[in-house]
């Protein structure tokens, strides 16, 4: 099936209400199909509206467009996917290297890479991305909007929280990154932005611009999506309740999307350990069936 046939089949499955709406959908799906084709991926009816493809298209295939426009494209394509593929969504997982968690060695290399940048601005920006992306588990759209006044440090236990817009639960900084964040904001004014404070226009392009200017000779490319995936995976493997992780992600839906992205990279469980865990906790006998130890001692004369 050709690319054009795939696009027409998807739009026909949606059954647009009028020709104008059909043309709008055709242009959007064709743009997605062209992006997938140019990336060397197969353009198929059952895969084109996959979650990972939509994410990659909205992140890197819409250059020059405002963030609001990209988010509008994302919502439109996700709605099409629900209609075309049904309520169960796209079958299967799309393995994307953009969501592969960093190893501990790679994180160390990224930190030393940050300290070796040629200017203080690049050093600080690189460190702040590591701190907010991995240390606090934040995506790009939240990193660029946070200010110094959003950071709250508890004197009693040293916990660092970041107030997020939109009524979301505060983001909690990981152990080991709390002192890093406190050191980075020392001497800054309350209304200054945490990341790239000298830039007035706040868009996700601030992150990609800084990464392009950084040198990564001995470290992997710095991607906020991979930092977020590493934060998510580390907490998951530490058996942090999924509901707690979802609260910091902003919603259960976003957490489930991240889970789908990182699931192919999670280590396989040891079969013996997995069998033990899958049995669940051992049942406890009801309290009424337990012997009264005091009466037994009285009968045997041990008291």
Digit-coded pLDDT (tens) for 55-95:
888 888 887 788 788 888 888 888 888 888 765 444 344 45
What residues have CB less than 8 Å from 166, skipping those under 6 apart? 250
> Confidence class of residue 45 from pLDDT cuts 50, 70 and 90?
confident
- Apex CA 137: angle with CA 135 and CA 140, to 5°? 110
* DSSP H or E run through 151: strand 151-153
Cβ 162 vs Cβ 149: under 8 Å: no
Q: Is the pLDDT of residue 50 over 70?
A: yes
pTM above 0.75, yes or no: no
Average pLDDT over residues 8-12: 87
* 290 pLDDT above the threshold of 80: no
Q: Where are the alpha helices (DSSP H) in 131-251?
A: 140-143, 178-185, 205-213, 224-237, 242-249
């Amino acid at each position: 099936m050709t690319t054009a046939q795939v696009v027409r089949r998807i739009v026909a499955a949606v059954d647009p209400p009028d020709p104008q709406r059909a043309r709008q959908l055709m242009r959007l799906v064709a743009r997605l199909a062209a992006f997938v084709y140019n990336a060397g991926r197969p353009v198929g009816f059952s895969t084109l509206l996959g979650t990972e493809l939509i994410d990659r298209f909205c992140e890197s295939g819409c250059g020059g467009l405002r963030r609001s426009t990209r988010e509008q494209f994302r919502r439109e394509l996700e709605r099409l996917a629900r209609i075309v593929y049904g309520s169960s969504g796209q079958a299967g997982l799309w393995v994307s290297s953009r969501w592969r968690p960093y190893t501990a060695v790679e994180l160390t290399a990224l930190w030393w890479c940050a300290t070796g940048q040629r200017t203080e601005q690049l050093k600080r920006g690189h460190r702040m991305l590591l701190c907010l992306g991995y240390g606090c588990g934040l995506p790009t759209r939240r990193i660029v909007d946070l200010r110094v006044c959003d950071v709250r440090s508890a004197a009693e236990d040293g916990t660092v929280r970041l107030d997020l817009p939109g009524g979301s639960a505060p983001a909690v900084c990981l152990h080991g990154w709390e002192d890093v964040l406190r050191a980075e904001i020392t001497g800054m004014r309350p209304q200054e932005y945490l990341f790239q404070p000298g830039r007035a226009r706040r868009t996700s392009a601030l992150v990609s611009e800084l990464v392009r200017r950084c040198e990564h000779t001995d470290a992997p490319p710095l991607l906020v999506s991979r930092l977020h995936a590493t934060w998510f995976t580390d907490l998951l493997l530490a058996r942090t309740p999924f509901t707690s992780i979802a609260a910091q992600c902003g919603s259960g839906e976003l957490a489930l999307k991240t889970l789908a992205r990182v699931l192919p990279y999670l280590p396989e469980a040891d079969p013996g350990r997995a069998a033990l865990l899958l049995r669940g906790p051992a049942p406890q006998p009801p309290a009424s069936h337990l012997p009264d130890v005091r009466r037994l001692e009285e009968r045997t004369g041990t008291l």
